[in-house]
Chains A and B, each alone.
Chain A
Amino acid sequence: MNPTIELNGLEVQLGGRTILHGLTGVLKSRAIGLLGPNGAGKSTLINTLLGFHSPSKGSARILGLNSHTNGKALRSLVGYMPENDAFISKMSGVRFVRYMAEISGLPPDQAMERAHEAFVYVGLGEARYRPVGTYSLGMKQLAKLAQAIAHGPKVLILDEPTNGMDPPARKRLIELIREIREANDICLLLSSHLLRDVEETCDEVLILRNGQIASICNLVEERRANRKFLELETVGAEATFTATLEGLGCECAVFTNGRIKVVMPDNVEIREVFKVAADRGVQIRRMNHRRDSLEDIFLNAMEQTGAADGRI
Chain B
Amino acid sequence: MAVYKRKYTPYTGPLTPEWSRFFVLTRYALADLFKSRFFVLLLILSLVPCLFFAGYIFIANNKTLQLLLPTGPADMFSVEARFFTIVMIVQTQAAFLLNCWVGPVLIAGDLTNGALPLFLSRPFGRADYVLGKLAVLGLLLSAVTCVPCLLLFTLQAGLAKDGWIWSHLWMVVPIVLCSAIWILMLSLISLAVSAWVKLRIVATGVIFILFFIPAGVGEMFNSIMGTDWGRLLNLSYMFRLILGKGFREPSVRLLGSLDWNEIPIPAAWGVLVFVCLLLLVILDARLRAREAVRG
Q: Interface residues, chain A, CB within 8 Å of chain B?
A: 14-17, 47, 50, 52-53, 72-73, 75-76, 78, 80, 82, 84-90, 99-100, 102-107, 110, 114, 116-118, 120-121, 125, 133, 147, 149, 151-154, 157, 179-180, 183-186
Contact = CB atoms under 8 A, between A and B. Distances in A.
A-B pairs, top 4 by smallest CB distance, nearest first, are A152-B11, A80-B121, A15-B294, A105-B15
Contact of B109 (A89, A118, A149, A180): A89
Contact of A86 (B11, B118, B294): B118
B289 A180 contact: no
5 contacts: A16-B294, A75-B122, A86-B113, A110-B13, A186-B10
Contacts of B1: 114, 117-118, 121, 149, 152
B289 A52 contact: yes
B11 A114 contact: yes
Contacts of A85: 113-114
A180 B8 contact: yes
Given A14-B292, A53-B290, A183 B123 contact: no
A52 B10 contact: no
A84 B24 contact: no
B24 A99 contact: yes
Interface centre among A14, A121, A149, A153 (most CB of B within 10 A): A121
A103 B24 contact: yes
Contacts of A105: 15-16, 18, 21, 123
B122 A76 contact: yes
B289 to A, nearest CB: 4
Interface residues of B, number: 41
B192 to A, nearest CB: 21
B9 A183 contact: yes
Given A53-B292, A152-B1, 19 more contacts: A15-B292, A52-B288, A52-B290, A72-B18, A88-B113, A102-B24, A103-B21, A106-B16, A107-B14, A107-B16, A114-B11, A117-B1, A117-B3, A120-B3, A121-B1, A152-B10, A152-B11, A154-B10, A183-B10
Given A16-B294, A106-B15, A117 B2 contact: yes
B137 interface: no
A15 B293 contact: yes
Nearest to B20: A105
Contacts of A75: 121-124
Nearest to A147: B118
A131 B32 CA distance: 13
Contacts of B6: 120-121
A115 to B, nearest CB: 10
Contacts of A114: 1, 11
Interface string B9-45: 1111111101001001100100010000000000000
Contacts of A133: 113
Contact of A183 (B8, B115, B122): B8
Contact of A179 (B3, B7, B11): B7
A99 B289 contact: no
B125 interface: yes
Interface string B105-135: 0000110011101111111110000000000
A116 B117 contact: no
A263 B250 CA distance: 98
A244 B25 CA distance: 73
Contacts of A15: 292-295
